[in-house]
Amino acid sequence: MAASPFLPLTKADVDLVTSRKTIDERTPHRRSPYGEPVTISSSPSGASGDVTLDSYDATANVYLEQSALPGPAVMAYLDAVAGLVGDGTVLELGSGPEWDARYLESRGPRVLRTDGALAFVQMLRAAGHQARLLDVRTDDFGGPYDAVLADAVLLHVPREQFVDVLQRARQAVTSGGVLAITLKEGDGEAWTEAKLGRPRHFTYWREPAVRAALLNSGWQVLSLEHVEGRVEPWLFVTARTGQVPSKSPRRPV
């Protein structure tokens, strides 16, 4: 396997980030410098995913400033992903400020960065990456890759589009390929202006519905962890390609 052309994580990066006041959103038991989520009373007009992407586009620098190197729970999760993928190629959806991508590459895999927000793609390209503008709701993912990673991304996908996204991820990986997704755990959906001061839409998920969606889109769950977040609980999932169940049961022969 050729050496990764992407920038590795350096000790200077780690020192810079750990000196910041900011913390990973999923590091439990720490007080947020950004406050609790602010749920807004009226829903913005327009498709929720478009409004959310516009917000990221307008505030990519703010998000970068407020985000940080993965905390212990995310690092352990990415270590597990690296253990499944080896030095294979990972398509990352919603790379954002590329903290995960850089960490994952320090563990072996090569990461292809993408995002639906042009501002993040431009930021990634300016950093020397061949980042692709990719909207998870509508775009073909390409491939085949050894894995697809979407950390804190599919929580912005409307519930009714979730299975379709999982199916396209399934089509984008090799046989035995891996899927790694994290979602916020809970019921229903919500708009919030927390963190960015602009509206973002979140779809919450419970374990049984996630398992059913994965099964229906041809994924076999390898692990599904309930992770205590700083503000809200999360679901950290890994899956491997499996069979799509047939709709009608087979007749006995």
Ligand X SMILES: C[S@@+](CC[C@H](N)C(=O)[O-])C[C@H]1O[C@@H](n2cnc3c(N)ncnc32)[C@H](O)[C@@H]1O
Rg (CA), the chain: 18
Among 73, 80, 85, 136, binds ligand X (CB under 6 A): 136
66 in contact with ligand X (CB under 6 A)? no
105 in contact with ligand X (CB under 6 A)? no
Q: Cβ closer to ligand X: 71 or 242?
A: 71
146 in contact with ligand X (CB under 6 A)? no
Binding mask 148-177 for ligand X (x = CB under 6 A): ---xxx--x---------------------
Report whether 97 contacts 120 (CB < 8 A).
Answer: yes
CA gap 25, 67 in Å, rounded: 8
- Residue 231's Cα: distance from chain center in Å? 18
Let me know if 83 is exposed, middle or buried by CB neighbors in 10 A (0-12, 13-18, 19+).
Answer: exposed
Q: How many residues does the chain have?
A: 253
120 in contact with ligand X (CB under 6 A)? yes
49 in contact with ligand X (CB under 6 A)? yes
Minimum separation from the CB atom of position 83 to ligand X (A): 19
Residue 175, CB-side half-sphere exposure with 13 Å CA sphere? 1
56 in contact with ligand X (CB under 6 A)? yes
Termini Cα distance of the chain = 47
198 in contact with ligand X (CB under 6 A)? no
Contact set with ligand X (CB under 6 A) = 49, 52-53, 56, 67, 93-96, 99-100, 115-117, 120, 134-137, 151-153, 156
